[in-house]
Structure 1
Amino acid sequence: MSILSLSAVSSLFMVLCGLWSFIKYHKHLLNSLLSLEFMMLGVFWLLSMQTSSVGNEIYFGLFFLTLAACEGALGLSLLIYVVRSHGNDLFMSLSLLEC
Structure 2
Amino acid sequence: MMNLSFVWVFSSLMMVFCGLWSFAKSHKHMLNSLLSLEFMMLGVFSLMVLEVVSVGSEMYFVLFFLTLVACEGALGLSLLVFVVRSHGSDYLSVFNVLEC
Tell me which interval the TM-score lies in, with the shorter structure as reference length: over 0.9
Question: 2:23 corresponds to which residue?
Answer: 22
- Note the residue ranges of structure 2 that are not aligned, 5 or more in a row: none
Give the TM-score of the pair, scaled to structure 2. Answer: 0.94
Question: Within 2, Cα distance between the matches of 1:57 and 1:86?
Answer: 45
What are the superposed Cα offsets for residues 1-42 of structure 1, whole Å, 9 maximum, x if unpaired?
A: 321121111100000000111111100000000000000000
Give the root-mean-square deviation of aligned CA atoms.
0.9
Alignment-mate amino acid for residue 94 of structure 2: S
**Count of aligned positions:** 99
Quote the sequence identity (%).
66
Q: Spell out the pairing of 1:1-99 with structure 2 (5 A cutoff).
A: 1-99=2-100
Q: Secondary structure at the match of 1:26?
A: coil
- Note the residue ranges of structure 1 that are not aligned, 5 or more in a row: none
